[in-house]
Structure 1
C-alpha cells in the first residue's frame, strides 16, 4: 500500500472522528465532549490491559455512587473476559481458598432464593457476586510484582486524597449527623469527619484497610523520594482515622499494627506495645475521652449495641440453620417481630449478622475462608525470599485483620463500597499468594 493511500485512509478517519466530536460538542457542550473523549480513551486502556480497569475501579469506589461502582465492577469482569478470549486460552489457577469462595458464593445464591425477601436480598447478592467475580478474575489472570505494586499504590493514592478531604471537613467544621455521638460523654468532640463516605465509621473502615498497605510500600521502596511520599501518605491516613473518632476502627487498627509487627519482626513488639501505651499521654483530650468510653454502658451508642445484640440473638435461635436471607432488607422485615423498641438495619456485629442472614453453614464457611487466607499468607511470608512478597503479604493480611476486628463492633457487609473493598483485599491476598508460589517455582 502506497504512502498516499495510507495518508488518504487516515485523513478520512480523522475527518470522521473530528465530525463526531464536533457534533457532540455542538449538541451537548464542551464539558460533555471532554467526558466522552476521556471515557473512550479510558476504555481503550482498559481493554488493552485489564489491570487498568482494576486501577480505575479502586479510584472510583470512594467518589462515585454505589450503582456506578457496581457498574465499574462489571466493567472489570468484562475487560478480563475479553482479554481471556483475545489470548485464546484460560487456565484454571488453584489456590487453597478457591473451593471455599465457590461454596460461600453458592450459599449466597441459595440465601437470596430462599430469603424472606428475595427482592430485598438481590442488592446484596449483586454486590457480593460482582465482588467475588473480580476476585476470580484476579486469581486467574497473570499477575506480576509490578502489577501488585501498581494496584497497591493506587489504593494508597486514593485513600490519601480521601483523607485530605477529611482534613478539609475537620477544619471547616462540618455538622455531625444525629446519633453519631453521645455529646454528654464526649463534650470536646465537635466534628467527626466522613469525607466522601456516608458516615465516619464507614470512612474509618475504608482507611484502616489501606493504611497497612501504605506502611508496607514505605518499607519496600529504597528511593528516598518514594519513602517520603509513602511516609506522608501513611501519616495523613493515620490522622484522618483519628479524626473519624471511630472506636471500633481504632481497635481494629491497633490489632492490625500488632499483626504487621508480629509477621515482620515479632521482637519489636516488646518496644512498640509500651510505646503505644506511652503515646496515650500525648493524645488530645477529645481522643482520650473517646477511648475512655469504650465498653461503657453510660455511652448511648454502646448501650444501644449491647441491647440490640441481646435481642438479635432471638432471631438467630429461630433461623440458626436456614438464615433469613442476605441483606439489610430481610433483616428489617423480620426484626420488628423480635426488636420492638428499635428499627435497626443490622446488629452492628458482622459475625452475628452473617449467622442470622446465611445460617450456621454460612458463618462457618466464611470463618474457614478467612482462616485459609491467613494460613496462605503465613505460608508466603515464611517460605518466600522476596522482601516485596513478605511486606505486601503482611500488609494485606493486616488489612483483613483490621476490618475483621472492627467487624466485632460494626457490620462491615452493610455498606456496598466496604463490601467491594473487602473482597478486593481478599483478591489481592490471593494474587500475592499466586505470585509468591510462581516466583518460588522459578527460583527452585
Structure 2
C-alpha cells in the first residue's frame, strides 16, 4: 500500500531519468553562452523576484479596472522565466533543490489537458482566450517556484505580500468603523443581515476580499514563528489580528469556511511540529484536544455571537436564502453541462463558460461561473481535467507534508512558511467550494504563490551526501 501511495504522489520519482529522455528538456542551455557574458543576467534571480513583487503589489489594486496591466506583468514574468530556462547551464548540477519537481510535471499535464480541451471546444475562440490566461498564471508559478528557492528572496517576497495585505486590511477596517457603500447586492434584502456593513477594501467585493485575505492570514500566522526579533514578532501578530478581523467583517460565508479550515489545518500542522517535544504520555491526546477545542470555540461563536449565528444559519436554510437559491440553480445547469461533455469539457476560461452556459441556464439565473471551483474545473476540462487537478492537489500536499517532516528533524523554522502555504491552500479550496473568486487575478496569483512556495522546498530523493550540509544552513 505504501508503494502504491508513493507512486501516486510521485514521491520517489527520479527526475534525472525524465530529463535524460525529454526532448523538451534539451532546449535548456541554448542561450548559456550569451548568459555567461551578460551583466544583467548576473542579477537574474533578483530581477525575477522584482517581477513577481510587481504582480503581488499591483494585482489587488488594479485587478478589476486594468486587467491589461496585469496581463502585461504576467507576460513579462513568463517571458523572463523562458529566458532563464533557455540560458541555464546545460547539465548543471541540480543539488538539493532541482528546478523541476513532481508538482511541475502535474502542472504541465494539467496545461496539456487544457490545450486538448481548447482544441475540442465548441467555442474554440473563447476557449483560446481562457487558455492564454491559464498559461500566463502557470508561467508565473514556474518563475515563482524558481525564485522562492532562495531563502532570502522567499522571505522578502512573503514580507512584501504581508505588508500589502496589512494595508488592504486596515482600509477594510476603516470601512467597518466609518461605513461603506454596498457596490452590489451582496446580502439578501429579506434577511436579518441585510443592514450589515460588509467591508471590501480596495478589491470592490467582500467575497473577493475574503479570498485574498485567507493566504494573508495563514502567512502572517506563520510569520509569528519564523520572524525571530521581538518587534518583528509583534508586527506579525498585528498582521494576523488585523487580517483576521477584516476577513471576518467581510461576512462572506465562503470566506468564513475558508478561514476556519485554514486555521484548523495550520493548528494541526503546528501540533504535529511540536508533538515530538511533548511528554510521551501526552502525545496521543494532542490531536483530540485540538479537535475538541476547535469545535467548542466554533459552537460558542455560533451560540453567542448574533451576526455569526445568522450567517451560519443562512447556510442551512436551502432555497429560502436568495444566495443559496441562486447557486443551486447555477449548479443544476452546470451539472447538465458536465453531463453533455463529461470527458474533456467545453474548454478553459470564463469566456467559454459565458458562451455555453446560456444554453443551459434557468430563467433569471445568469452566471459568470460555476460557483464551485471543482465544478468549474469539471465543466472546463471534463472529468479528465478534474482528475488531474485532484492529482495535483494530492501531490502538492504530500510534498508539503514531506518537507515539513524533513525540516522538523532539522528544527528549521522555515517549515512554518510551508505550514502557512498548505493551510492557505486548504482554506482557499474550502472557500471556493461554493464560489469561484479563485479565478480572479487578485486570488489566482496568490494560489500559485502558495503552490510555488511548496514546490520551492522540494528536495530530490537521491540528493547526494555532499549536499546534506545545505539542509543545515538553509534559510
Does structure 2 retain, via aligned residues, the 8 Å contact 1:174–1:193?
yes
Q: Which residue of 2 aligns with 1:329?
A: 351
Cα distance change, pair 400–187 in 1 and its aligned pair in 2 (3 A): closer
Within 2, Cα distance between the matches of 1:148 and 1:132? 19
Does structure 2 retain, via aligned residues, the 8 Å contact 1:389–1:432?
no
SS in structure 2 of the partner of residue 97 of structure 1: helix
Within 1, Cα distance between the matches of 2:369 and 2:175? 28
Cα distance change, pair 196–120 in 1 and its aligned pair in 2 (3 A): farther
1:62-87 per-residue CA deviation (whole Å, 9 max, x = no partner) reads 11222212211222234445556677
TM-score w.r.t. length of structure 1: 0.83
- RMSD over aligned Cα atoms: 2.7
Corresponding residue pairs, total: 401
Cα distance change, pair 195–436 in 1 and its aligned pair in 2 (3 A): farther
Structure 2 gap ranges (5+): 1-41, 93-97, 273-285
Is residue 352 of structure 2 the alignment partner of residue 354 of structure 1?
A: no
Q: Which residue of 2 aligns with 1:27?
A: none
Residue correspondence of structure 1 range 31-50 to structure 2 within 5 A: 49-50=47-48
SS in structure 1 of the partner of residue 201 of structure 2: coil
Within 1, Cα distance between the matches of 2:312 and 2:353? 31
Within 1, Cα distance between the matches of 2:211 and 2:131? 21
Instruction: Please report how far the alpha carbon of residue 345 of structure 1 lies from its aligned counterpart in structure 2 after TM superposition.
Output: 1.2
Instruction: Please report how far the alpha carbon of residue 440 of structure 1 lies from its aligned counterpart in structure 2 after TM superposition.
Output: 5.2
Q: Which residue of 2 aligns with 1:32?
A: none
SS in structure 2 of the partner of residue 388 of structure 1: coil
Within 1, Cα distance between the matches of 2:109 and 2:81? 23
User: Which residue of the other structure, out of 292, 303, 323, is the alignment partner of 2:313?
Assistant: 292
Q: Which deviates the most, 94-103 or 174-183?
A: 174-183
**Greater relative contact order (CA < 8 Å, ≥ 6 in sequence):** 2
Structure 1 gap ranges (5+): 1-43
Q: Which residue of 1 aligns with 2:271?
A: 265
Q: Which residue of 2 aligns with 1:59?
A: 57
Residue correspondence of structure 1 range 12-411 to structure 2 within 5 A: 49-64=47-62, 65-82=66-83, 93-141=99-147, 143-187=149-193, 189-265=195-271, 267=286, 269=290, 270-280=292-302, 283=305, 285-297=306-318, 298-341=320-363, 342-384=365-407, 385-411=410-436
Instruction: Please report how far the alpha carbon of residue 275 of structure 1 lies from its aligned counterpart in structure 2 after TM superposition.
Output: 3.4
1:21-62 per-residue CA deviation (whole Å, 9 max, x = no partner) reads xxxxxxxxxxxxxxxxxxxxxxx9888632222222211111
1:76-112 per-residue CA deviation (whole Å, 9 max, x = no partner) reads 2344455566775685623122221111011122222
Q: Which deviates the most, 258-267 or 235-244?
A: 258-267
TM-score w.r.t. length of structure 2: 0.78
Cα distance change, pair 262–419 in 1 and its aligned pair in 2 (3 A): same
| Bigger-Rg structure (1/2) | 1
Instruction: Please report how far the alpha carbon of residue 441 of structure 1 lies from its aligned counterpart in structure 2 after TM superposition.
Output: 6.4
Is residue 448 of structure 2 the alignment partner of residue 423 of structure 1?
A: yes
Does structure 1 retain, via aligned residues, the 8 Å contact 2:169–2:246?
yes
1:348-401 per-residue CA deviation (whole Å, 9 max, x = no partner) reads 111111111101110000000011000001101112224323211111000100
SS in structure 2 of the partner of residue 339 of structure 1: coil
